[in-house]
Amino acid sequence: MGSMESLNEHIMEYSAQLRKGRIQKAYKGIMNFMSDMKGYLERKHPEQSSSSLYLGYMDMTYFAFTPPALQNLKLKIAIVFLHEQCRFELWLAASNRKLQAHYIDLLSRKDLGGYTLSKIRPGEDSIIASVIVEQPDFDNPEKLKKQIEARTVEFAGDMVSILKEDYET
């Protein structure tokens, strides 16, 4: 463990970084991209249900974009941008902790075809998390949107297939 820095020291560093002006530009760029991404998916896939954009605390920014079959199971698919790792992930998530635990248990007995189940631990919100874009090119937003869309459609289809018998009963 490093030296214990005070909140004042953290805020001084934060202010120093903000004075350079890059953090605000990057943050605004990420928010604009995520907002555009949400609108793009809503226009192209109107049958899916989308949530509002969660901005986060500079840790993650996401919105849910979920096919009806999963929504009926009280599940959602979140398109997540992780700020520190600078990457996009797709998460299969539940509407609460109890359901999350139920689905992790249920899916532990299924063939997940290469996907990995998340562990139940504090702060873990996913049931399955899949990294979809390791080094996003924000200077090429149209290409990035298509890349995320293709992976989202594929992931959603896979999750629906894996859970098929659970909503056909």
Amino acid at position 153, single letter: V
Residue with tokens 């990457």: 87
d(CA 104, CA 22) in angstroms, rounded, equals: 40
Contacts of 29 (CB under 8 A, 6+ apart): 138
**Which whole number is the average pLDDT over 97-114?**
92
Domain boundaries of the chain, sorted by first residue? 7-167
**Which whole number is the average pLDDT over 127-155?**
97
d(CA 103, CA 75) in angstroms, rounded, equals: 9
**Which whole number is the average pLDDT over 136-143?**
97
Looking at residue 88, what is its pLDDT? 98
d(CA 39, CA 118) in angstroms, rounded, equals: 29
Looking at residue 164, what is its pLDDT? 86
Q: CA 104: distance to chain centroid?
A: 17
Closest CA to 33 of 166, 135, 138: 138
Question: How buried is residue 145: exposed, middle or buried, by Cβ count under 10 Å (0-12/13-18/19+)?
Answer: middle
Amino acid at position 139, single letter: D
Long-range contacts, 151-158 (Cβ 8 Å, 24+): 151/90, 152/41, 152/65, 152/77, 152/79, 152/90, 153/45, 155/77, 155/90, 155/92, 155/130, 156/48, 156/65, 156/66, 156/67, 156/70, 156/77, 158/113, 158/115
Looking at residue 165, what is its pLDDT? 76
**Which whole number is the average pLDDT over 131-154?**
97
pLDDT in tens, 2-46: 568 899 999 999 999 999 999 999 999 999 999 999 999 999 999
pLDDT in tens, 45-100: 999 999 999 998 889 999 999 999 999 999 999 999 999 999 999 999 998 999 99
Looking at residue 122, what is its pLDDT? 83
* Beta carbons of 159 and 92 less than 8 angstroms apart: yes
Instruction: Read off the pLDDT band of 168 (50, 70, 90).
Output: low
Looking at residue 167, what is its pLDDT? 61
